[in-house]
Amino acid sequence: MEIERLLDEYERRVAGGESLEGEHKGSAHWQTEAAVARILALIASVPHHRDHPVEGDLEGQYDIWFDGGAYRIFSGWGEYSFTDGSSAQVPVTPLLRVTIQLPDGRVVEIAQVS
């Protein structure tokens, strides 16, 4: 996916100590957008999903594990847990709605309005 390539490039640059001063990518706002984009990409693709955990997967009572996280099914909604400490709740409704909690406690809500 193109978004994953762009996010990986950003993370590589930051981890390598490259200054992004003057670029919008260096802002805290962009970092939030990047985290949300990565979570949405994982939800959309559920990479290498499996019914049983393998070594390195999240521990806990989940119904599905995948590269980058795990998923638990409840009546009327599902909850994703991600290896970076983020989580997302997705209700089963006709319209798209996702509530994402980032590891630092910030909450992002995405809702289809029509």
Over the chain (114 residues), the average pLDDT of each successive run of 10 is 62 60 54 87 93 96 97 96 96 93 93 92
| pLDDT for 3 | 56
Distance CA 47, CA 33 (A): 21
DSSP, res 100: E
Give me the residues paired with residue 110 across strands.
98
The Cα–Cα gap between 66 and 80 comes to: 10
The pLDDT score that the predictor gives to residue 31 is: 75
> What DSSP state is assigned to residue 94?
S
